[in-house]
Amino acid sequence: MQLLKRLFRADKNESSGFQKQLQAVLGLKPGNDLLYEIALSHRSVKDTPEENNERLEYLGDAILSAIIADYLFKRYPTKGEGFLTEMRSKMVNRQQLNDIALKMGLKKLTRYNKFDNALRTSQIFGNTLEALVGAVYLDKGYRKTQQWVLKQIVIPHMFVEDLENIDINLKNKLIGWASKKGHALTFELASEKLEGNRRVFIMNAVLDGEVIAQGKGFNKKDASQVAAQKAVEHLGI
């Protein structure tokens, strides 16, 4: 009986510690611990869909997109659909969300295989942030989630006025520059391999037959964007 009491007390203390950590990072008190534990669990440590954060990431992505769309619709009452769509893409792109997640301190809370070097430098923390949006939605409902996203993510981390002037699609920017200057530019698959349990693609940015930059990602599109970013920096465009 004493052992059971000690175990119960330990579980309670552990749960209380987890809640305090979450509250400090997220700025809200979790109601359902299990939802947040799942949201913080990458598939590299939890194999099954009900235990890792991929389902919550899917849900959170949709909820976050809807909240941002509503925010932009009201902020820019005279702007057209094209502008609003581009702004939303800038606000919820993978790199932006990953940077925000790191600033919020989610790296120390995310449970992932820390021995997998590819994961340590990947954008899984942005995925964790989306999963947490999904968890908050299921735990608190849409209205409170909307308030939380605006207070904890949009206002402190998404500098909307600055984003208006950023060209997020660096690949298109690079292609346009090459065309204007009369250069031949291609993006070519350099290699494809498994790192841990995930397939990783390495893409080359090739200018006039010469590799000028290389990018790595979990799909060809992301790898090409990374290569384009490095090429733009290299060329000083």
Percent of the chain whose pLDDT exceeds 90: 56
Given a contact cutoff of 8 angstroms between Cβ atoms, the answer to whether 215 and 230 are in contact is yes
Q: Classify burial at 99, counting beta carbons within 10 Å of its beta carbon; exposed 0-12, middle 13-18, buried 19 or more.
A: middle
Q: What is the pLDDT of residues 178-235, one digit of tens each?
A: 999 999 999 999 999 887 677 889 999 999 999 999 988 878 887 888 888 889 888 8
Clarify whether 61 is annotated catalytic: yes
Asked whether the CA dihedral 99, 104, 105, 110 is positive or negative, the reply is negative
- Which one is catalytic: 57, 61, 116, 222? 61
- Which one is catalytic: 37, 130, 139, 222? 130
Q: What is the pLDDT of residues 114-127, one digit of tens each?
A: 888 777 767 899 99
Q: Which CATH number does the domain 170-235 belong to among 3.40.50.150, 3.30.160.20, 1.20.950.20, 3.30.590.10?
A: 3.30.160.20
Between 175 and 11, where is the model more confident?
A: 175
Give the tokens for residue 75: 């902020």
Clarify whether 81 is annotated catalytic: no
Mean pLDDT of 7-23: 66
Q: Please report the DSSP string for 157-186 in residue order.
A: H--HHHHTT----HHHHHHHHHHHHT--EE
Superfamily, domain 13-163: Ribonuclease III domain (1.10.1520.10)
CA gap 231, 213 in Å, rounded = 5
Predicted pLDDT at 82: 76
Average pLDDT taken over every residue of the chain: 87
pTM: 0.69
Using DSSP, state whether 188 is helix, strand or coil: strand
Domain span(s) for CATH 1.10.1520.10 in the chain: 13-163
Read off the pLDDT band of 13 (50, 70, 90). low
Least confident of 30-39, 151-160, 196-205: 196-205
Asked whether the CA dihedral 117, 123, 127, 128 is positive or negative, the reply is positive
